[in-house]
Structure 1
Amino acid sequence: MFPPRNLENATVVEGYGEDDMRTSIRSSDSAEVIFPLSDTVRSLLGMSNSAEMQPQCLAQRLVDVIGSSKVVWKGPFARQKMVLSCGHNVILKAVRNLDDTTEYTTLAYLHQRKPNIAAPKPLGLIRLNDISLIFMTHLHSTTLAEVWPSLKTALKVSIKEQLTLILNDLRSLPCETGNPFEGVRGEGCKDIRRHLRRSITPILTVEEFEGFLFNSDRAGGEVFVELLRQLSPATQSPSPAVVFTHGDLRPENIAVKYENNELIVSELIDWEYSRFYPEYYEAIRCTNCMAPYDENDWHLFIPDCVSPKRYMHWWLLDRAREVRNV
């Protein structure tokens, strides 16, 4: 076991801008292991396989690892979210004030239930004061967003076909009859368009789910809302299937790599919005950021199993529903 450190001169990760999360990380911070660390991460942190590290020592080791890691991605507000490459094929996602552990528990669930699915493997989660540090495997790849503009049509079709296989496999995960629409650890429904909303009570039917989407603080006029409700397919039968949904499918969250002169989808990343949802909801979510004058033809190559073309009525209804918030 490592000896406790003198915290009077607590180490700080220095040399970053004020808006950088790393600036506020100190070795005096409280460190707690939320989900067990893999042997790879324990080795990265210099931890003995036979002993737990004292919180103060763990915080210092985290400071050291974070300080020597390479920034892979920063959120619009780097004090809130960033991703670091720690070496040893390990990625670290740091999130301030994480409201639930959906991403981690989803990756653990997929690793157990669908170990061949194209997703990172979870390697442990540590909470450092108000910052959650999610360790996961990292493949040396790039995002589809970076290469998409330069791809020929044949490669775009190939990516679509690969994603179809991955998503169909994902959507084959069963949701037990009578279970709520939720994450794998019981996390309720989220609607993150323009502002975050959470379901207060369990949602058990498509009708209740549609009611949740309609009941926004910015719901619009009663007549308009009632007309849209009358147009909803939710009252028709058979009811849509409930499937496992990535929840944020877009080129930025699709990792690819070149292998034998072919472009391969290596994994889907960012599973924080994954849930069991009605089958049409992925089609709604994956075009959520599409603007009327968007020239990105990715939207024309969305896999058929989650395409707006397959769920046209639901997709058009949701577009009309969102007019209320403009």
Structure 2
Amino acid sequence: MSPDFHDDLLQHYSEAELVHHIRASPRHATTPRVFLLSVTLLAKHYEPPLIEDMVKATEAARRLGIRAPCIKRTIIYEGSAFCVMERIQGATLEEIWTRLSWFMTIKIALQLRHFVHLLRSVTSSVAGSLATGQCLSFWLEDRYGLPARSRPEDIAYFIQFWMNFTSIRKAMKAAKQVSVNAKRQISPVARTFVLTHHDLAPRNLVLDSSGQLWLIDWDYAGFYPIYFEYASLQNFHTPKDWNLFARLR
């Protein structure tokens, strides 16, 4: 933590001063983009075009009643963007999973289920992040990418393409044989998309000292097909030191 930084002066520091304090702070052990600014605050580095999406998603989650970090200040300075936010006091499920009881596991599962239901109460007719509309999904990225605020037909065609993909040559040949109108006749994956955290891996689930669950890291949040949240749970490699009991839970 930066020895000269004072929480109560956060809103009064100039952008240059705040960036100096951030860069003078130690980095998180496993997430180099995160700086431990103080006991109660941390700062995370972003590419400037992406920070607004994260901020809007985090604020939307908090309005729904989901426990997420409070955004304190954002700045864009000399080509870099930083978000200063509340530092949640607790441990990630990745860190403590092997020590949790069955009772606590069920309690956490019920809290997470409630949060997901709250997210699904918010829907959209187009996919993508909340500010720019970019499709930042792990499951919708390729060399060309999807357009911002994609329609259900776009998502359906994208998924069908990759499910049937065998080689570039065959894909190009098939594309020439299918008319544009035929492509539009593909049944959409869903008529509406739901608000999705999109990275509900144990590293992004924090349990505080009172047993309350917090969801952090809203970088990939946006509107996507309902099953994408389930898929995001698989974006996690089980640690080798987890025993059978931990894996079964």
Distance across 2 between alignment mates of 1:297 and 1:272: 31
Matched ranges for 1:264-303 at <5 A: 264-265=212-213, 267-289=214-236
- Correspondence for 1:107: 58
SS at match of 1:145: helix
Distance across 2 between alignment mates of 1:236 and 1:184: 21
8 Å contact from structure 2 (residues 44, 83) kept in 1: yes
Match among 80, 83, 98 for residue 34 of structure 2? 83
SS at match of 2:219: coil
> TM-score, normalized by length of structure 1?
0.58
Cα pair distance change 1:73/1:132, threshold 3 Å: farther
How far residue 251 of structure 1 moved from its aligned partner, in angstroms, is: 0.4
Gaps of at least 5 residues in structure 1 are: 1-12, 14-39, 48-52, 227-233, 302-326
Gaps of at least 5 residues in structure 2 are: 175-185
8 Å contact from structure 1 (residues 84, 92) kept in 2: yes
Matched ranges for 1:1-326 at <5 A: 43-44=9-10, 46-47=12-13, 53=14, 58-67=15-24, 69-75=25-31, 78=32, 82-87=33-38, 89-95=40-46, 97-101=47-51, 102-111=53-62, 113-114=63-64, 116-175=65-124, 179-192=125-138, 198-200=145-147, 202-205=149-152, 207-215=153-161, 219-221=165-167, 222=170, 235=187, 239=190, 241-259=192-210, 263-265=211-213, 267-289=214-236
Amino acid at match of 1:71: R
SS at match of 2:131: coil
**Aligned-pair identity (%):** 20
Cα pair distance change 1:42/1:107, threshold 3 Å: farther
SS at match of 1:124: strand
Cα pair distance change 1:208/1:249, threshold 3 Å: same
Cα pair distance change 1:236/1:297, threshold 3 Å: farther
Superimposed CA distance per residue, residues 243-301 of structure 1 (whole angstroms, 9 cap, x where no aligned partner): 11001111000011232xxx321x1011111111111111112213458x997877765
* Largest Rg, 1 or 2: 1
Amino acid at match of 1:181: A
Cα pair distance change 1:42/1:200, threshold 3 Å: farther
RMSD: 3.5
Amino acid at match of 2:212: I
Amino acid at match of 1:278: P
Cα pair distance change 1:296/1:46, threshold 3 Å: farther
Distance across 2 between alignment mates of 1:241 and 1:194: 17
Cα pair distance change 1:61/1:122, threshold 3 Å: closer
- Give the aligned length: 225
Cα pair distance change 1:194/1:173, threshold 3 Å: closer
> TM-score, normalized by length of structure 2?
0.74
SS at match of 2:36: strand
